[in-house]
């Protein structure tokens, strides 16, 4: 049941998420911790491992918003090269959250997720939608990205999103699916608030069901300077006859969760639902065009 365009790729994948407690404001220690966790994941047979947003620095900014700029590196750069050497050795793909410095403008930084794998550095995603005060300080430190790429792996094209891009803008997940992604990963720093564990689980499952893909959200856990995070990293996706299924879910402690997923099973469900045939792309495109025209 796997379509011709995907037959060159592996039939199954073991996808993992790190429920990660950041070492705030200590990049060297963070790199060491990340490498240890990558080794543990490889020992567990995980093929693709997702870390949360800004894992290499911690998510929370310091009081004068300088920490992330000080820790930011170009991608590729020293940190990604060090970790890529390990992903080559261990034959594993890793999506890692970190602050990136623009190679052409040292004053411009991004919230980024490079993809590293057996091939080394593969590509990089920059967060599009930045949180603003009073709840968030991202826009005081970072610049938003400007593209929605997919990345080639031996398990097929995958899409990467970061936090609000995934939670609040579902059209981005749809774009990634239309570009061929069967796995969409979400690197997030979702803070502790009432109802949050249900939120991360239900929204990760919703993005999977909407697009007939596998999704994974990796979240921070524990406390940084003043902010706390609830973990609950989740892997979801259709599992016939269930349109929505939680394949793995973490709790509120540090751990790696994983699930082995079948692409044959996914494509059988896609064929039964006929999503591509049902979608009225002409109407959707026309409505977006009208919205753009009315705003201009």
119 catalytic? Reply is no
Instruction: Locate 107 and state its tokens.
Output: 């004053």
Distance, CA of 279 to CA of 208 (rounded, Å): 16
Is there a cis peptide before residue 70, judged by omega within 30 degrees of 0?
no
Which run of H or of E encompasses 204? helix 196-211
163 catalytic? Reply is yes
| 127 burial via Cβ count (<10 Å: 0-12, 13-18, 19+) | buried
| Geometric angle at alpha carbon 217, from 261 and 249, rounded to 5° | 65
271 catalytic? Reply is no
Length of the chain: 296
- Of 33, 53, 109, 224, the catalytic one is 53
Distance, CA of 293 to CA of 202 (rounded, Å): 34
- Of 109, 113, 163, 232, the catalytic one is 163
- Of 127, 138, 141, 232, the catalytic one is 127
Active-site positions read 53, 127, 163
């Amino acid at each position: 049941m796997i379509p011709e365009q995907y037959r060159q790729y592996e039939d199954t994948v073991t996808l993992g998420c790190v429920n990660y407690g950041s070492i705030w404001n200590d990049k060297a220690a963070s790199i060491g911790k990340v490498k240890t966790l990558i080794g543990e994941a490889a020992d567990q047979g995980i093929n693709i491992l997702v870390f949360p947003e800004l894992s290499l620095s911690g998510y929370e900014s310091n009081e004068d918003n300088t920490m992330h700029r000080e820790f930011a590196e170009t991608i590729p750069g020293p940190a990604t090269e060090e970790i890529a050497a390990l992903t080559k050795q261990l034959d594993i793909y890793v999506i890692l959250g970190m602050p990136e410095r623009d190679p052409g403008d040292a004053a411009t930084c991004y919230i980024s997720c490079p993809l590293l794998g057996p091939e080394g550095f593969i590509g990089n995603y920059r967060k599009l939608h930045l949180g603003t005060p009073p709840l968030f300080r991202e826009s005081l430190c970072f610049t938003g990205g400007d593209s929605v790429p997919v990345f080639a792996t031996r398990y097929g094209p995958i899409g990467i999103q970061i936090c609000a891009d995934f939670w609040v803008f579902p059209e981005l997940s749809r774009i990634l699916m239309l570009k061929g992604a069967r796995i969409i990963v979400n690197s997030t720093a979702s803070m502790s608030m009432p109802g949050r564990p249900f939120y991360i689980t239900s929204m990760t499952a919703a993005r999977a069901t909407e697009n007939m893909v596998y999704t994974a959200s990796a979240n921070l856990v524990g406390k940084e300077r003043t902010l706390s995070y609830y973990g609950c990293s989740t892997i979801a996706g259709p599992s016939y006859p269930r349109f929505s299924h939680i394949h793995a879910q973490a709790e509120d402690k540090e751990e790696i969760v994983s699930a082995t997923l079948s692409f044959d099973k996914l494509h059988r469900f896609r064929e039964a639902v006929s999503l591509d045939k049902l979608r009225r792309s002409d109407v959707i495109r026309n409505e977006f065009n009208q919205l753009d025209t009315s705003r201009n």
